[in-house]
């Protein structure tokens, strides 16, 4: 479909959805972002919705500056998935025991591991770089020094909210019925703590006085504040990547215990709340994706729907107008509070029929009806990605 320019902005803001369908608060945020003097351009994904400071579903390219609110508090949040050799016929009719086994192996919600993860004890987990990674904790902002033990115990845990673990079946094509494993999580509490501390520092810097939204405060290149943020940011992004890698290895182990014949393809992993150094038209930029994945030419990515719909494995087309990006999911169409007021547990059970998952009041805010139509979101970005596989969950674990 291509993009539509958003009118009334200093920097170009390109929108991959109908601009008139964007909620007023989100549209105001986008115009505020487009007015910042450091912004080269903004690409708005079809799952766009209101967020703190910057909209979720936005790709912000800046010159020599970065806004921590444009990354968000769950630094490095993203997706991982792996295709297995199993097919639907290998799975039992009753999948509750599989869900229970996953929940026993991977702590969810506020739970954490009793003992920190030892990578040497997890089959299939990469063994390189762990000592250097944890040594890097000593270089982080001193205000989080006391959180190292918690960060170690939370590594390899899911969290709550929209984070999930799924067992999915491929839909259509020559591999119809093939089983996939998929999960969505980020940098847990340590990423949040680092993000909030740096956002507070940015708001107090003199060059951010008079911004249209104080939550859009930026750090400037060549300053100690920028150096400190980028140091902590890179570490938190790596924590998130390793967190997903540990969970995926544990998940593969659970499935292997129940299906010893299983084999696995190479995993796919992608951040969707992060910063990257990239060059467009010869200009070096800091590209922030908040609720967006990188979709460079032939990049593989994952775009999930909700806990009762489907997800997509995609290959990027490398569209420079979107800064080589695509949406990170369906995107919310109503707040968590509104979802709880609108839907009941009976609605949740109906909308997740055929999925082995929680169907209680604690996850009503994650009901599929609270999200946009993933098929429409995908149709809006055909010039950004091509579909490799369409997946439908049969097991969904939520925190």
Residue 52 has pLDDT above 90, yes or no: no
In angstroms, the CA 48 to CA 15 distance is 9
Residues 75-120 have pLDDT tens digits of 999 999 999 999 999 999 999 999 999 999 999 999 999 999 999 9
Let me know: does 289 contact 355? Beta carbons within 8 Å: no
Neighbours of 148 (CB within 10 A): 15
Vertex 98: Cα angle to 371 and 240 (nearest 5): 55
Phi first, then psi: give them for residue 22, nearest 5 degrees: -75, 130
pLDDT confidence of residue 223 = 98
pLDDT for the residue 269: 97
Question: Which of 195, 98, 164 minimizes the C-alpha distance to 371?
Answer: 164
Helices (H) and strands (E) in the chain, counts: 9, 17
Radius of gyration of the chain (CA): 20
- Give the list of residues 6+ apart from residue 219 with CB closer than 8 angstroms, or none: 65, 66, 67, 68, 198, 202, 205, 225, 226, 229
Question: Quick one: pLDDT at residue 1?
Answer: 72
User: What is the average pLDDT value for the chain, to the nearest integer?
Assistant: 97
Q: Which tokens is 264 given?
A: 């696995």
Q: Indicate which residues carry an active-site annotation.
A: 328
Other beta carbons within 10 Å of 258: 14
Q: What is the pLDDT of residues 130-149, one digit of tens each?
A: 999 999 999 999 999 999 99
Q: Dump pLDDT digits (tens) for 165-212.
A: 999 999 999 999 999 999 999 999 999 999 999 999 999 999 999 999
pLDDT of residue 156: 98
Cβ pair 374, 327 in contact under 8 A: no
């Amino acid at each position: 479909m291509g993009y539509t320019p958003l009118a009334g902005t200093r920097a170009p803001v390109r929108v991959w959805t109908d601009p008139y369908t964007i909620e007023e608060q989100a549209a105001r945020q986008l115009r505020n972002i487009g007015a910042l003097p450091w912004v080269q351009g903004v690409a708005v994904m079809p799952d766009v919705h209101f967020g703190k400071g910057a909209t979720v579903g936005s790709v912000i390219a800046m010159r020599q500056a970065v806004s921590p609110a444009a990354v968000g508090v769950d630094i490095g949040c993203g997706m991982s998935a792996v295709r297995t050799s199993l097919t639907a016929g290998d799975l039992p009719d009753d999948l509750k025991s599989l869900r229970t086994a996953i929940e026993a192996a991977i702590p969810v919600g506020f739970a954490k591991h009793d003992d920190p993860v030892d990578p040497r004890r997890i089959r299939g987990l990469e063994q390189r770089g762990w000592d250097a990674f944890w040594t890097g904790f000593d270089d982080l902002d001193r205000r989080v020094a006391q959180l190292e033990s918690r960060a170690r115990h939370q590594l390899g845990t899911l969290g709550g909210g929209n984070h999930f673990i799924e067992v999915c079946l491929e839909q259509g094509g020559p591999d119809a019925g093939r089983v996939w494993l998929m999960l969505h999580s980020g940098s847990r509490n340590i990423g949040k703590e680092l993000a909030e501390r740096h956002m507070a520092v940015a708001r107090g810097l003199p060059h951010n006085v008079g911004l249209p939204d104080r939550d859009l405060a930026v750090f400037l290149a060549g300053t100690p504040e920028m150096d400190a943020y980028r140091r902590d940011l890179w570490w938190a992004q790596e924590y998130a990547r390793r967190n997903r890698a540990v969970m995926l290895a544990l998940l593969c182990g659970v499935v292997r215990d129940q299906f010893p014949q299983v084999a696995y393809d190479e995993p796919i992993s992608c951040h969707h709340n992060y910063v990257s150094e990239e060059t467009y038209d010869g200009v070096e930029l800091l590209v922030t994706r908040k609720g967006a994945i990188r979709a460079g030419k032939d990049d593989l990515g994952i775009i999930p729907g909700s806990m009762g719909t489907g997800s997509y494995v995609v290959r990027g087309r490398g569209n420079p107008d979107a800064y080589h990006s695509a949406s990170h999911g369906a995107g919310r169409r109503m707040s968590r509070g509104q979802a709880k007021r609108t839907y009941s547990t009976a609605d949740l059970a109906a909308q997740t029929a055929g999925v082995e998952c929680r169907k209680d009041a604690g996850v009503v805010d994650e009901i599929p009806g609270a999200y946009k139509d993933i098929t429409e979101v995908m149709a809006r970005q055909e010039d950004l990605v091509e579909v490799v596989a369409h997946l439908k969950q049969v097991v969904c674990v939520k925190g």
